[in-house]
Amino acid sequence: MSPDGTSITFKLRPDVNFASGNKLTAEDVAYSFKRLMTLNLAQASFLKTRGFSADNADASFEVVDEQTFKLNLPKADDPNFVMMTISQAGPGSIVDSALVKQNEKDGDWGAAWLKTNSAGSGAYNLREWRSNEYVLLDRNDEYWGEAPAMRRVMIRHLPESQSQRLQLERGDIDVAYALLAADLQALETTKDVKVETTPGAGFYYLAASMKDERFANNKVREALRYLIDYEGINKSIMPYYGVSHQRPLSTGVMGLLPDPGYKLDVPRAKKLLEEAGYKDGMTVTLRALSDPPFITIATAIQATLAQAGIKAQVITGSGDQIYGAMRERKFELIVGRGGGGQHLHPDSNLRAIAYNPDNSDEAGLANYQAWRTSFFDEKLNALIIDALLEKDKQKQIKDYENIQVYYEKMIPAIQPFSEVVDTAAFRADVKGLIVNPWITRFETVTKDR
């Protein structure tokens, strides 16, 4: 890292080849980052929040020589957090530029070809991808690290939880993700099967749109804060999905304060609604995915809202239908999941859930959840930026503590009630599995069978 914190220089391993046999060079690194920002797909959002764009790509991604790559930061930032960002699969994935260029059509940067092919240097290659059926991965004999134990990995599309459970019990599959709570509970007592829960990324929350004049009133938002049955939801609905959590920062990050301890308090909520001019309540729409646990949470919140005179019509649907409305700022209330946390740094959460550099509709900053809810505060934006750039670690921790206190007093549009956890069930003879889907790697996995 440069002394002024404006650039990071990387010396590449000299012994890395792509699966094709092509040598990995700094040209591949620069090409991969430029490709990511030019295509501007979902994975680009992680770098966009750090100020990278297609317009500044040439200046940001610099080839010094064949084995030296320089990352020039487009704006003041914490270099350590930038390192966390590019170490993540997706935004930091490097592709074989020569191979991709051979398969480019009409200037698409090889996007069509890469939908069903791979061009990496990792432990496995994509052999076959059949949409909604399976993915086959073969061991990469050119891999620079220790050879993986598994010759092949098959990832099957099994949308029904009970089907996954039955096949796991029979030994037809080794690992099952996305199981429903009832099936996970049954598997806890199943011989030769283990169930493991690990910290995930982000939160489950109730969010309100401040474009709606009712929720622009902070007393109404505060009333919503006391109409969530935090204890009941986390005890009866969230096992295997989440754990009780009310702060906007993930567990384990620096500066995290203890939970404020909000509880369901209907009389207090009714008083706040009366002070806001809604003594007789109101009618609202409450959106939620049709999958567990979202629909179950929405039903529980619908019931507690009703106790204060808020009649909520629950609207369910797919991700495009539910989160699409939120991204377009055309919703009232939503039970959602998000808030960053893919990286163990407070800015990962705050940049996702609280920061909003431009609240205009024209800005279209859908990757900022604060923008989606029309939540905007210039002072909070400045506090978040200042904390990120603070070089004194102890002062930086104090800055993040102060941000949480300020954010809480503002009665934000997003109220977390549970922190995401990831749960998987797997055969007991499977070793080396990382349950967290953000960092799952197959080269560490073995099975004794």
Report pLDDT digits (tens) over 102-144: 999 999 999 999 999 999 999 999 999 998 999 999 999 889 9
Q: CA torsion, points 224, 221, 253, 322, in degrees to nearest 10?
A: 70
Q: How far is CA 193 from CA 186, 190, 367, 424, in A?
A: 10, 6, 38, 10
Between the CA of residue 43 and those of 2, 11, 49, what are the distances in Å? 26, 24, 11
| CA distance linking residue 291 with residue 294, whole number of Å | 6
- pLDDT of 306 above 90: yes
Query: 321-366, pLDDT tens digit by residue?
Result: 899 999 999 999 999 999 998 888 999 999 999 999 999 999 999 8
User: Fold for domain 124-198+422-447?
Assistant: D-Maltodextrin-Binding Protein; domain 2 (3.40.190)
Give pLDDT, residue 45.
86
DSSP state letter for 228: S
What pLDDT sits at residue 49? 82
Q: Are 383 and 405 in contact (CB under 8 A)?
A: no
pLDDT of residue 439: 77
The SS3 of residue 414 is strand
Judged against a pLDDT cut of 80, whether residue 438 lies above it is answered with no
For position 367, what pLDDT does the model report? 84
DSSP secondary-structure letter at 259? P
Pairing of strands 134-139, 124-130: antiparallel
Domain residue ranges of the chain, discontinuous segments joined by + = 7-102, 124-198+422-447, 200-421
Query: Where do we find the tokens 């009133």?
Result: 217
Rounded to 5, what percent of the chain is helix, strand, coil? 35, 20, 45
Instruction: For residue range 68-112, list pLDDT tens digits in order.
Output: 999 999 998 888 889 989 988 889 999 999 999 999 999 999 999
The whole-number pLDDT of residue 162 equals: 94
* Confidence band of 7 (pLDDT split at 50, 70, 90): very high
Phi, psi (deg, nearest 5) at residue 55:
-70, -35
CA distance 17 to 24: 5
Q: Are the CB atoms for 54 and 48 separated by under 8 Å?
A: no
Cα gap 84→342, rounded to integer Å: 9
Q: Which CATH architecture has domain 7-102?
A: Alpha-Beta Complex (3.90)
Q: What pLDDT score was predicted for residue 10?
A: 97
Mean pLDDT check: name the lowest of 50-59, 165-174, 249-258, 439-448. Answer: 439-448
Q: List the Cα angle 341/425/345 in 5-degree steps.
A: 10
Question: CB-based contacts of 221: which residues, under 8 Å, 6+ apart?
Answer: 208, 210, 215, 411, 412, 413
Q: What pLDDT score does 220 carry?
A: 98
CA distance 333 to 207: 6
Q: Would you say 203 and 251 are in contact if contact means Cβ atoms under 8 Å apart?
A: no
Q: Parallel, antiparallel, or unpaired for β 414-427 and 333-338?
A: unpaired
CB burial of 429-443 (b: ≥16 within 10 Å; e: otherwise) equals ebeebbbeeeebebb
Give the confidence band of 8 by pLDDT, cuts at 50, 70, 90. very high
- CATH code 3.10.105.10 for 200-421: yes
